[in-house]
Structure 1
Amino acid sequence: MKKLLFFSFFFACSLAKAQKMTTITYFQNDTLKLDLDLFVPENASKTKLPLMIYVHGGGFSGGERESGHSLCKYLANNGFASATITYTLYAKGKNFGCDGALPNKIKSFQFAANDLWLATSYFIKNSEKHNIDVDKIFISGSSAGAEAVLHAAFWDFKTMNLYAKNALPKDFRYAGLVSGAGAIMDLNMITKKNIIPMLFFHGSADTVVPFGTAAHHLCKTNSSNWLMLFGSNSIYNHALSLDGSTSLYTYCGGGHEYSGTLFEKDQFYILNFLNDVLIGKKVQNHTVFKTGKKADKANPYGFCE
């Protein structure tokens, strides 16, 4: 028993030393300073590393980049560079509920997506310094972070860019994305031309961010902050219609509490997805997990087939 405990302790310590973290200011101007935590394998080879950038949740008003440390450490232990970013919390102090102001909600999405573009631009400009393969940059996010990721991937950069000095290479595309309980404002932004590999996971009875197609927070149509969103199931089906590479993990009857599940545990699903993309493997699959919760069949977005 003592030998087993010693081995477990030694193994845990070895993992803890398998990656290293550096905090970096990726953007700063007169009024804004944005940092990220970069994790890389401790003994990385000279081969350029694929990179995952993670965006935390928190309703665009809270949350912290440290919530992505578990995922970043896991990926660094498996040969990836991985970063978790601080971004502009535009909704902080504002009413983000159904009786709030819709322009603030849309601006929250835009600022977060822009900060993700800034972080991406930083890594492209400093790819040699950090040994990053700029053709293998992935993005991921939970809840609000997932909404930022989806819009950063598919919004037109020239139209939605807020920073004059920010520039991404012409025709830049992320290598793929992972969305935990995310949604997009317009499915038409995802086309045959710009689609990328995508992995989604979502509770089917989520009343904050819809699993299917519904209003954000399920607000009534006469609400001042009413906004239709297309959630994981809707995006997944749209991706299938475009013959894209995509996977969906549905937590049957689950709510918004599942928005971070694969980032916090069962992270091998994400690693498998990344490795499949890197070898050019096309995947189209939908996996349903039982949660022990009763799906509400009266709510079409809480029903699991």
Structure 2
Amino acid sequence: MKKHLLLFFALITFAFAKAQNYKTVTYFANDTLKLEMDVFVPKGKSKEKLPLVVHVHGGGFSGGERSSDRDFTKKAAEQGFVAANITYTLYMKGKSFSCDGKLPEKIKAIQIAANQLQQAVIYFLKNESTYNIDPAKVFISGSSAGAETVLHAAFLDSKMMSMYSESLPANFKYAGVISGAGAIMDLNLITPKNLVPVLFFHGSCDTIVPYATAAHHYCPPNSPGWLMLFGSYSIYNHIIGLKGNTKLVTYCGGGHEYSAELFHNDPLQIIDFMKGALKNEKQQSHTIVATGKECQKYAEYEFCK
């Protein structure tokens, strides 16, 4: 009886994995660390090299799972992308990432995640022929903490932030970035030289990751965890000023609950943006979405009224 049950559960597990149509691989390992990711590959063979999108889940660098946004990566694979959801070190687990936390710890959490994301990209570049990937067509995406990760991975000096022996090629540049309720520590990190297409979506009343420019969690300046952040609206306007390609979707009155909105409910909008970026289409737009909610604590933006 026990053997029959074990066989039954094994078959169920196999059928589930096959239905999900992904393969779990180890993208980085050393003496103390093993990091995995789930990789979706388009069905059928393509004569042309494929674009890649590597996704980072949210969770405040203390929680979350790579399985949370698999619907997006599965849809991306259906649309011709190799797509992966990565696991990364949750450095803030058991620590505070809010106002009572420690600023150096917050910065280190972002640095670790961004470095590990880059190791996942390096894995794909080293296995370019296996996955039939075009190194010039690599996108990174994330929500919340994942969005902070991808923004810093794209725009922070990779040599300065490097934590591992292997680095991205000196001339490497991402094809684009997808940021759901993300922010960056310094707008000056984004320059005409490193500019890439970016799609943002964010709730205008987010009290965790600021929609515009404010302290993380809106912490008072005397907090040990005080960290100024430039959110989606500020980065969008900065990129517009640099005449770059960017789109912003604003959920008026929405909070941090919209951090994965497009990944879960409109992945085709993201995929269309990535396809446009691959065609070098000029993309500059700001879409206003009414949520029926109002800001309870902070002033609403004029375009939301």
Using structure 1 for the length normalisation, give the TM-score.
0.91
SS of the residue corresponding to residue 238 of structure 1 reads helix
Partner of 2:298: 299
State the 4+ residue runs in structure 1 displaced beyond 4 angstroms.
16-19
Checking the alignment, whether the CA contact within 8 Å between 1:40 and 1:81 is kept in structure 2 is yes
Amino acid of the structure 2 residue aligned with 1:40: V
Between the aligned partners of 1:80 and 1:26, the Cα distance in structure 2 is: 18
SS of the residue corresponding to residue 98 of structure 1 reads coil
Partner of 1:204: 204
* Residues 88-142 of structure 1: per-residue CA shift (max 9 Å, x gap): 1111111212011111100000000000110011101110011111100000000
Partner of 1:171: 171
Using structure 2 for the length normalisation, give the TM-score.
0.91
After superposition, the Cα gap between the structure-2 partners of 1:175 and 1:19, relative to the gap in structure 1 and judged at 3 Å, is farther
SS of the residue corresponding to residue 41 of structure 1 reads coil
Partner of 2:90: 89
Segments of 5+ residues of structure 2 without an aligned counterpart are: 1-16
SS of the residue corresponding to residue 99 of structure 1 reads coil
Q: How does 1:119-198 map to 2 (within 5 A)?
A: 119-164=120-165, 166-198=166-198
Between the aligned partners of 2:302 and 2:147, the Cα distance in structure 1 is: 22
Stretch of structure 1 that moved more, 167-176 or 232-241:
167-176
SS of the residue corresponding to residue 41 of structure 2 reads strand
Amino acid of the structure 2 residue aligned with 1:259: S
Partner of 1:283: 283
Checking the alignment, whether the CA contact within 8 Å between 1:19 and 1:40 is kept in structure 2 is no
Deviation at 1:68, TM superposition (A): 2.1
Partner of 2:13: none
Amino acid of the structure 2 residue aligned with 1:196: V
Between the aligned partners of 1:97 and 1:179, the Cα distance in structure 2 is: 21
Kindly indicate whether residue 89 of structure 2 is the aligned counterpart of residue 110 of structure 1.
no
Identity %: 60
Partner of 2:9: none
Between the aligned partners of 1:256 and 1:217, the Cα distance in structure 2 is: 11
Deviation at 1:19, TM superposition (A): 7.8
Between the aligned partners of 2:227 and 2:18, the Cα distance in structure 1 is: 46
Checking the alignment, whether the CA contact within 8 Å between 1:36 and 1:83 is kept in structure 2 is yes
Between the aligned partners of 1:127 and 1:18, the Cα distance in structure 2 is: 25
Between the aligned partners of 2:125 and 2:280, the Cα distance in structure 1 is: 22
* Residues 4-31 of structure 1: per-residue CA shift (max 9 Å, x gap): xxxxxxxxxxxx9898311110000000
Between the aligned partners of 1:207 and 1:265, the Cα distance in structure 2 is: 22
Amino acid of the structure 2 residue aligned with 1:262: L
Checking the alignment, whether the CA contact within 8 Å between 1:253 and 1:304 is kept in structure 2 is no
Amino acid of the structure 2 residue aligned with 1:233: Y
Segments of 5+ residues of structure 1 without an aligned counterpart are: 1-15
Amino acid of the structure 1 residue aligned with 2:110: F
Count of residues in correspondence between the two structures: 287
SS of the residue corresponding to residue 22 of structure 1 reads strand
What value does the CA root-mean-square deviation take over the aligned residues?
Answer: 1.5
Q: How does 1:205-284 map to 2 (within 5 A)?
A: 205-284=205-284
Between the aligned partners of 2:295 and 2:101, the Cα distance in structure 1 is: 29
Partner of 1:9: none
